Structure 1
Amino acid sequence: MDRIDRAILKALQADGRITTLELAAKVNLSPTATADRVKRLTREGYIEGYHARLSAEKLDLGLLVFVEVKLDRTTPDVFDHFATAVRRASEVMECHMVAGGFDYLIKARVSDMNAYRAFLSDSLLSLPGVRETHTYAVMEEVKNTDLLPL
């Protein structure tokens, strides 16, 4: 990975819809060489895909919550069952196993507090092995990005 590869990744990360011609101009390469590098970066797993960033507010998913989850047992089978179940919950945007005072940190989006209460009781608390949860409702998103520092 050289500085041109990093420049390509940075440009694509900022605008996944940039044309090869525009990208080539940004990184000072020919369009063919740029396209070849993008193909290689994709093949090698640096580029995992492209997507549109949607407005949660416009789609009536304005409430963002973080939930700490403690499991009743920390055994491989409980972890596996929990992970399988949480992957099926469409409200869950991210779920991370963490070290510390709880087992998982979940990031979820729902329409409002009533929808969250239903999600908590119908989905989260019914997940395998869940003993306890602590919820943090987001009052203001100060920074929300998926751009990696390159």
Structure 2
Amino acid sequence: MLDPTDLRILRQFQAAPDLPTADLADRAGVTPTTLARRLDKMRAAGVIRAVRSVINWPSLGYTVEVSLRVQLDKTQPRAFDEFLAQARKIPEVIEAQTFLGQVDARLSVIARDMPHYQEVYRDKLLTLPHIADIEALMHVSRVKFDETLPL
């Protein structure tokens, strides 16, 4: 498992993944060689899956975000697989989750504005297979968005 040095490296890496190796190593209190070796080891073990850019959707004109809670017709044996396969093809669906319980799936959908959302909803989302019920929750504000772990 991870030792205290690995955790220290991860804390610093989460905070500033784009820092040059030497600066990140200095912040983590290790040599650049040790940092590189340990990061490679954590990548190989699947601890670090990716480094990515987070894009501010409103700056690109996507001002509407909606969460859809979906109940599927579970009498169909492949309902989940077929629903998710089609949902993945919709560019405006930026996240899909499945659940146990009354809600089977949740989709996060972005749109430029309400007319665009209505178009996506009518023409793409409502055509997804095996939907028994769907509830739309309009996002009003993002109170917290943080993908860093408390290491």
- TM-score with structure 2 setting the length: 0.92
- 1:76: how far off? 4.0
Q: CA 1:7–1:75 in structure 2 vs 1: closer, same or farther (change >3 Å)?
A: farther
How far apart, in 2, do the equivalents of 1:89 and 1:11 lie? 35
Amino acid at match of 1:69: V
Residue 32, structure 1, aligned to residue 33, structure 2: yes
Q: 3-state DSSP class of the match of 1:41? A: helix
Give the structure 2 partner of residue 141 of structure 1.
142
Query: Which consecutive residues of structure 2, in runs of 5 or more, have no partner in the other structure?
Result: none
Give the structure 2 partner of residue 131 of structure 1.
132
Amino acid at match of 1:29: V
Q: 3-state DSSP class of the match of 1:36? A: helix
Q: CA 1:4–1:75 in structure 2 vs 1: closer, same or farther (change >3 Å)?
A: farther
User: Does structure 1 retain, via aligned residues, the 8 Å contact 2:76–2:130?
Assistant: no
- 1:75: how far off? 4.2
Amino acid at match of 1:7: R
Q: CA 1:74–1:8 in structure 2 vs 1: closer, same or farther (change >3 Å)?
A: farther
Give the structure 2 partner of residue 110 of structure 1.
111
Aligned residues: 150
Query: Which consecutive residues of structure 1, in runs of 5 or more, have no partner in the other structure?
Result: none
Amino acid at match of 1:41: M
- 1:73: how far off? 2.5
How far apart, in 2, do the equivalents of 1:74 and 1:92 lie? 25
- 1:100: how far off? 2.3
**Cα shift readout 1:43-62 (whole Å, capped 9, x = no counterpart):** 11111111111111111112
- 1:139: how far off? 1.0
Give the structure 1 partner of residue 94 of structure 2.
93
Amino acid at match of 1:135: A
How far apart, in 2, do the equivalents of 1:149 and 1:118 lie? 40
Residue 51, structure 1, aligned to residue 52, structure 2: yes
- TM-score with structure 1 setting the length: 0.93
Give runs of aligned pairs for residues 3-18 of structure 1, distance below 5 A: 3-18=4-19
- 1:107: how far off? 1.3
CA RMSD of aligned residues (A): 1.3
Identity of aligned residues (%): 29
Segment of structure 1 superposing worse, 38-47 or 95-104 = 95-104
How far apart, in 1, do the equivalents of 2:145 and 2:76 lie? 33
Q: 3-state DSSP class of the match of 1:93? A: strand
How far apart, in 2, do the equivalents of 1:13 and 1:74 lie? 43
